[in-house]
Structure 1
Amino acid sequence: MNETDARSAVLAALNEVAPDVETEELEGSERLRQDLELDSLDFLRLLETLAGTTGVTASEDDYPGLTTVQSLVDYVAAHG
């Protein structure tokens, strides 16, 4: 999966999990938990939604590296 497709998938998943987030304005450096205010359940739902749409599943060992929108896009692109 290329970065453009991965970014589209991540933004679509964010729209589903956190509809109040303005995804059109996200640049990538935004932190999922601090800036977008996703709690741990939102984060898990985001990963679950991405797994359903892209087939990319993240292991718990990878969670610490998935802190920003861009890190999640990169992860999906690399594993998709």
Structure 2
Amino acid sequence: MNDMSDSLSRDDAEATVRSALRGFAPAADLADLAADAPLRATLDLDSLDFLTFVERLTTATGIRIDESDYPNLATIHTCVEFLATRA
């Protein structure tokens, strides 16, 4: 496991979020995805896709993400803020 939780900058957090989203949409769409776009609606993520995304974030950062934290994962921006403040 790659534990980045000791020093996760906002840039690192955004790169981690975008990396965790790979496979859910074409790379070009992810590169152009606005930081404030609603992830589930924009990328058409179903519940299983979203849980996979959460698992990827946890694996990449070592940060525990509980179901009560899911509202903090609505957009790239909120994901970055959540990860950076939890690191």
Which range, TM-score by smaller chain? Answer: 0.7 to 0.9
Aligned with residue 27 of structure 1, among 34, 52, 57? 34
User: What letter matches 1:20 in structure 2?
Assistant: P
| 1:50 alignment counterpart | 57
Please list, as runs of the form range in 1=range in 2, the aligned pairs for 1:10-25 lying within 5 A after superposition: 10-16=17-23, 18-20=24-26, 22-25=29-32
Percent identical among aligned pairs is: 35
Q: Mark the runs of 5 or more structure 1 residues left unpaired by the alignment.
A: none
3-state SS of paired residue (1:15): coil
Using the alignment, how far apart are the partners of 2:56 and 2:86 within structure 1?
15
Counterpart in 1 of 2:68?
61
Give structure 2 stretches of 5+ with no counterpart.
1-7
Q: Which has the higher contact order (CA 8 A, sep 6+)?
A: 2
The CA RMSD over aligned residues, in Å, is 1.4
Residue 32 of structure 1: how far off its partner (Å): 1.2
Structure 1 runs (4+) greater than 4 angstroms displaced: none
TM-score (norm 2): 0.80
Q: Which structure: larger Rg?
A: 2
Paired positions, count = 79
User: Do the aligned residues in 1 keep the contact of 2:72 with 2:82 (CA within 8 Å)?
Assistant: no
Moved more, 69-78 or 42-51: 69-78
